[in-house]
Structure 1
Amino acid sequence: MRQVFDYVVVGGGSGGCVMAGRLSEDPSVSVCVLEAGGGGNSAIINTPAGAVAMLPTKLNNWAFETTPQSGLNGRKGYQPRGKALGGSSAVNAMVYIRGQKQDYDHWAALGNAGWSYDEVLPYFKLSESNERIHNEYHGQHGPLSVSDLRTDNPFQQDYLAAAREAGYPVTDDFNGADQEGVGIYQVTQKHGERWSAARAYLLPHMDNRENLVVHTHALVQKIEFQGKRAVAVEVEIKGQTHRIEATREIILAAGAFQTPQLLMVSGVGDSSELASQGIECRHHLPGVGKNLHDHPDFIFGYKTRSTDNLGVSLKGSVRMIREMLRYKRERRGMLSSNFAEGGGFLKTDPTLASPDVQLHFVIALVDDHARNFHMGHGFSCHVCLLQPKSRGSVGIQSKSMKDAPVIDIGFYQNPEDLEVMVKGYKLTQKLMQAPSLAKHVVEDSFTANVKTDDDIREILRNRTDTVYHPVGTCKMGNDDMAVVDAQLRVRGLEGLRIVDCSVMPTVPSGNTNAPMIMMAEKTVDIIRGYSRVAAGAANPTNEQLEQAEHLAEVLP
């Protein structure tokens, strides 16, 4: 087995797939990907509705839990994360959302040069191939397919009608000039199939690039250093331990939980915390594992008699047989659903400059991440807080990567988050009680007895959990708690870079998969020292022209 590469990518999630796929475009560069899960190309992954089998189980899913949360009345939270090539893009709801202009301008204002909205928008467009929307905000030639849903579900129109009845604006593009409004999500699908980061960037090249090697079922145990330089990783592949060396860089893309865990078990982190686990500190970096945050999320749920919504019943089972045949024939209908078909971005205070809560309208009754089963049919609506102030942390319980990280998500540690969620609850309830949706309800499954603001606070504490957007545990910045610089290099070390959601200093206002893919696309240019965006400018520099000539020779 080959042991030495230019780049070793730890983790085959969205960031890792982009880095490996793009860097290996140059045949003079060798790349090795190490993914702890499987191949990411099974029918259960590629069929969008297959997510319902993966989310509540350990199928392609790490299925982590948090520590007991005081803000959630002592409950443990659930943290599913993708475990396959494609990472969480192989198990998520495929919602394509970038966030708000203010998110990235804030990153830049924190001292992260190059990450303002105007500087990252071209990389969103570079990654994207949008099926319908052709304007200055969208791309049509990238590897990541973005399309409208193909479910043909009439409930979508009732959802939009309810929004109009509630007085909320309706939009057909959450990623354009203005995010505010209610609408139907675009998704990372192609012809009705999931289009994960692996299908977009990695899988097409695994059999035809000799410079690209991908190992699945490969759990990295430790990073090896020579002085302050990261030089190799120790990895267990199918029961055998190997040492794989990187001559240029090790790129960590293991996610917001396992990237800080890997750093800590390798001796990089807060020296006192490492000492408590008997780990020799190779590099004191106190911010590793800190600044963890996520969008706290609450779900309304209702039962209905309509079989347009997913559920279990005799009548529904007969319909599902027809839907399975239709999907096989047309790649349309219920099996192409991402479940969270509709959404919205709303302001809890009209004086706010931008929305501060997000909705996910689900064509099924969802309870505890689909881990609590309900007979019959229904629909749900999530509401989550976009800019939470609460912060948690990731720690380790041992020296081994085989043990789960210690996740303290910290929901509602800052009381302001709970108060904004009370307002978000009321906005969402108003939408759910609008006539076009209310006419379908035969039972309010969770909130029928919630009357007062104190009732709302209590049910929020009892039922809030993640909406699957953890970030921040190796944040980008230049303050004492920053872990990487604006080029995503680990501060104080050499040959080590992080390209996953852990580097986001603050969570974007929306789903995190599209922002992560953008960040990886930009980081490819940072590593190459050549901007594909600037090369298209009117007056490229001589260095950019030379780089363009080189890439024209070596890239397909």
Structure 2
Amino acid sequence: MIVGAGSAGLVCAWKLSEDPGHEVVLVDAGIDPGPDVPLELATEILLPAHYYWQYTDEDTGNFLPRGKVFGGSSAVNAAAATRGHPWCFDAWDSPVWTYDACLPAFRALEADQQFGQQDHHGSDGPIAITRYEQSAFDLAFQDAYRRQGFHPLADHNAPGALGYGPFPTNRIDGVRMSTLVSVLPHLRGRSNVVLRPDSEVLRVLISGGTAHGVVLADADGQHILEADRVILSAGTFGTPEILFHSGIGAADDLRSAGLPVLADAPQLGRNLSDHVLFQMNMEVTDPSELPMPGGQGTLLTYELPGDRHPQAQIFAYHAPFFDPTAGPHTAAVTASLVTPESRGHLALGPGRARVHLQHLTAPLDRSRAADIVRTAAHIVDDLAAQGRLKLPDTPWWRAEDLPHACRAQALSYHHPVGTCRMGRDDAAVVDEHLQVRGVERLMVADASVMPAIPRGHTNLSAMMIGYRAADFAAG
């Protein structure tokens, strides 16, 4: 049984069910929209509320969109498709999860339209990836990057690639190639796959230290479904919630909540990491030269001074893509710290877990964020001097205390990871093969297992984890 039909869960089900000897039940609280995916789920970024779990950051009140539909967050995201660098995965401190160990799964998943024949890419997988021809505005941004000393590159997913070039995206001809669109069709009609939409898993059934099914709720009430193995792929927020209510977590917290203690896991819900971004809105003076939508224009990546490859991203997009209140000629120039030191956590609640992202709580993050925003401001000033941009009267990014201003402006990039940390140490929530410590036949396969956040968008990495989890479960 796989709980969660998102980026990792659908891929895991697809890979496992290729073997007709495996019977797979795929359960999700969201809807299965059917073979004819609604146009809004295929193309739009601003979707009706029923497609999302209703999470907010407890400290800021900001909405944290997580997909509540088959396809999960891959069905509601901007479809940016970068992986990260070899040192992202090598830093997970496991011979099972080095970049070289993960690369075959990345290659098997993708059909890269420009570089599929290269050794570090794939050409035959279900997830199509391309790069768009750039708009006049994005080409002007590239010229500004060059004047600031940065270098062009063709492929952001080449190992170690840094510089500016088109975003890789899994949006083809305007259609988001989510796992809903690209992977779920392979499962329909397989006699060894059962799809259970509209079914929220409340807890895992555990007896004698072994998982043997779940309790779920649907329109007809609560039910027990038995299984030989349970794989949780409910996401960085959802998977810890299920584990908490199954009696797994910090023993004192569980007792305080009136829950049984079946496995003491003090680190469950800790180690929450998320890319943080800063948005600088301004007007484009020529309405015929607007930036491209999010995840399709030009992306700049570069390293900051310091150990362990600290890294930044800068990009621009047409602001109404994400913000319906933005004017039609508004560009959002966005700076991001993709190697945050700050860590948040989930707090056990009566229903939904309470999310505390804790962006920029580490002083080093505030300093690095200010450096990145200053660099973005130099690029903006370059284009404003050319008459391409009109800045607001009092830009927040010119604040005297810029680190403080950055903390006030910090937003989620919506890439949360790490709450079920994988590792070789006894404190890790899951081991190197994604088995929950202290419970047999219970695995986690989603972004929550990442010990550290990659320097790329986390969707492809979550798919890679689902693909590899299928091998671990089958073995």
In 1, distance between residues paired with 2:105 and 2:385? 38
Whether 1:79 aligns to 2:64 is yes
Q: Report the Cα offset of residue 239 of structure 1.
A: 4.1
Secondary structure, counterpart of 1:224 in structure 2 = strand
- Is contact 1:185–1:343 with CA below 8 Å preserved after alignment? yes
Q: Report the Cα offset of residue 190 of structure 1.
A: 3.3
In 2, distance between residues paired with 1:387 and 1:428? 17
1:523: which partner in 2? 469
1:259: which partner in 2? 239
170, 184, 188: which one aligns with 1:202 = 184
Aligned AA for 1:67? E
- Is contact 1:499–1:519 with CA below 8 Å preserved after alignment? yes
Whether 1:58 aligns to 2:44 is no
- Is contact 2:312–2:337 with CA below 8 Å preserved after alignment? yes
Whether 1:35 aligns to 2:60 is no
Whether 1:164 aligns to 2:146 is yes
Aligned AA for 1:43? L
In 2, distance between residues paired with 1:450 and 1:9? 49
Q: Report the Cα offset of residue 298 of structure 1.
A: 0.8
Secondary structure, counterpart of 2:66 in structure 1 = coil
Call closer, same or farther: CA 1:267–1:26 in 2, change over 3 Å.
same
In 2, distance between residues paired with 1:78 and 1:342? 26
2:328: which partner in 1? 376
Aligned AA for 1:285? A
| Count of matched residue positions in the alignment of Structure 1 and Structure 2 | 471
Between 1:27-36 and 1:262-271, the stretch displaced more is: 27-36
CA offsets, 1:149-196, max 9 Å, x none?
36x632221221221122211111111133211121011133431100
2:460: which partner in 1? 514
* Mapping of residues 537-556 of structure 1, within 5 Å: none
Call closer, same or farther: CA 1:484–1:418 in 2, change over 3 Å.
same
73, 78, 84: which one aligns with 1:93 = 78
Call closer, same or farther: CA 1:214–1:450 in 2, change over 3 Å.
same
1:46: which partner in 2? 42
Secondary structure, counterpart of 1:80 in structure 2 = strand
In 2, distance between residues paired with 1:94 and 1:437? 32
Aligned AA for 1:501? A
Call closer, same or farther: CA 1:256–1:448 in 2, change over 3 Å.
closer
CA offsets, 1:496-546, max 9 Å, x none?
0000000000000121011111122222222233xxxxxxxxxxxxxxxxx
1:250: which partner in 2? 230
Call closer, same or farther: CA 1:299–1:173 in 2, change over 3 Å.
same
- Is contact 2:346–2:354 with CA below 8 Å preserved after alignment? yes
* Mapping of residues 121-270 of structure 1, within 5 Å: 121-133=103-115, 134-149=117-132, 153-206=135-188, 208-247=189-228, 249-270=229-250
In 2, distance between residues paired with 1:356 and 1:519? 23
406, 411, 424: which one aligns with 1:460 = 406
In 2, distance between residues paired with 1:442 and 1:139? 42
In 2, distance between residues paired with 1:177 and 1:383? 22
Call closer, same or farther: CA 1:433–1:487 in 2, change over 3 Å.
same
Call closer, same or farther: CA 1:212–1:437 in 2, change over 3 Å.
farther
Aligned AA for 1:160? Q
434, 457, 476: which one aligns with 2:422 = 476
In 2, distance between residues paired with 1:217 and 1:27? 25
Aligned AA for 2:192? N
In 1, distance between residues paired with 2:452 and 2:297? 26
- Is contact 1:219–1:235 with CA below 8 Å preserved after alignment? yes
1:391: which partner in 2? 343
In 2, distance between residues paired with 1:59 and 1:443? 36
Q: Report the Cα offset of residue 355 of structure 1.
A: 5.2
* RMSD, matched Cα: 2.2
- Is contact 1:45–1:91 with CA below 8 Å preserved after alignment? yes
Aligned AA for 1:277? A
Q: Report the Cα offset of residue 307 of structure 1.
A: 3.4
Bigger Rg, which one: 1
Q: Report the Cα offset of residue 448 of structure 1.
A: 5.6
2:311: which partner in 1? 356
- Is contact 1:303–1:365 with CA below 8 Å preserved after alignment? no
- Is contact 2:384–2:390 with CA below 8 Å preserved after alignment? no
- Is contact 1:432–1:438 with CA below 8 Å preserved after alignment? no
- Is contact 2:336–2:369 with CA below 8 Å preserved after alignment? yes
In 1, distance between residues paired with 2:288 and 2:220? 47
Structure 1 residue ranges (4+ consecutive) displaced by more than 4 angstroms after TM superposition: 308-311, 337-340
15, 18, 24: which one aligns with 2:11 = 18
Aligned AA for 2:122? G
Secondary structure, counterpart of 1:141 in structure 2 = coil
Q: Report the Cα offset of residue 442 of structure 1.
A: 2.3
Q: Report the Cα offset of residue 260 of structure 1.
A: 0.5
**Runs (5+) with no aligned partner, structure 2:** none
Aligned AA for 1:515? S
